[in-house]
């Protein structure tokens, strides 16, 4: 097996969260400690969109499927990492031209990967670019921002992707990954009946 790139964000109290909202931070509680009971045990409260995660259609579509509708086979396969670190603001179809492949995953590496802080002006996928990816028929698209779009009215980018059953992966860490072709594995927690799941995600060279 080739080199493995772990492209997952570390979940910890001071990690970046969407818009830096305090209520979106993970909260750790030690329910047993070595000092008191000789065993360490932790309870964690987290928004399902914390760190690296996948969104399911129900996140934005009232009649959309939940995250358990994805089998593991839907979440692994050939993948291209594209370098869009020069892009500011919105990603357009022109930025993606010739990069995406039918049936494959596309991970978008932007300047977001080079900051450990939440970026209010994060680079995001425009609705036109989402339509372009749907036309090509990609299996999934991933971003190193905490959101695939940036508060566009009506959440158009999300909805276009979900309507075409394109897997949406958010919160990737791609700073160390050269642009190129890989095999992608997305391993979300197996959670029933919800709109998203935190995931461990890695690329195999």
For binding to a second copy (CB under 8 A), which residues are involved?
A: 4, 6, 8-12, 23, 28, 31, 34, 39-49, 51-52, 58-60, 62, 68, 71-73, 155, 185, 187-196, 198-200, 202
| Residues in contact with 172: Cβ distance below 8 Å, sequence separation at least 6, in sequence order | 7, 8, 9, 52, 107, 113, 142, 143, 144, 201
Distance of CA 134 to the CA centre of its chain: 17
CB of residue 10 vs a second copy: minimum separation in angstroms? 5
Return the H-helix or E-strand segment holding 89.
none
Q: Which is nearer to a second copy, 8 or 110 (CB)?
A: 8
Closest by CA to 185, choosing from 82, 52, 96, 95, is 52
Residue closer to a second copy (CB basis): 42 or 115 = 42
Beta carbon nearer to a second copy, 12 or 135: 12
Residue 72 or 135 having the CB closest to a second copy: 72
CB of 130 to a second copy, least distance (A): 17
Shortest Cβ distance from residue 170 to a second copy (Å)? Answer: 13
- The CA distance from 150 to 23, in Å, is 19
């Amino acid at each position: 097996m080739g080199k493995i790139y772990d492209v997952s964000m570390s979940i910890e109290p001071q990690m970046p969260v969407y818009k830096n909202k305090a209520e979106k931070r993970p909260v750790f509680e030690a329910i047993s400690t070595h000092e008191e009971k000789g065993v360490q045990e932790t309870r964690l409260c987290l928004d399902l969109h914390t760190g690296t995660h996948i969104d399911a259609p129900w996140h934005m579509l009232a009649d959309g499927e939940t995250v358990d509708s994805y089998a593991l086979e839907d979440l692994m396969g050939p993948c291209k990492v594209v370098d869009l670190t020069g892009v500011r603001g919105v990603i357009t179809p022109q930025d993606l031209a010739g990069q995406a492949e039918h049936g494959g995953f596309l991970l978008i590496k932007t300047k977001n990967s080079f900051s450990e802080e939440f970026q209010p002006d994060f680079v995001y996928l425009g609705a036109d670019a989402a339509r372009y990816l749907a036309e090509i028929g990609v299996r999934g698209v991933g971003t190193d921002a905490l959101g695939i779009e940036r508060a566009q009215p009506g959440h158009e980018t999300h909805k276009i992707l979900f309507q075409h059953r394109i897997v949406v992966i958010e919160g990737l860490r791609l700073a160390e990954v050269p642009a190129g072709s890989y095999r992608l594995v997305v391993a979300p927690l197996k959670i029933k009946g919800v709109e998203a799941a935190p995931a461990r995600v890695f690329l195999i060279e």
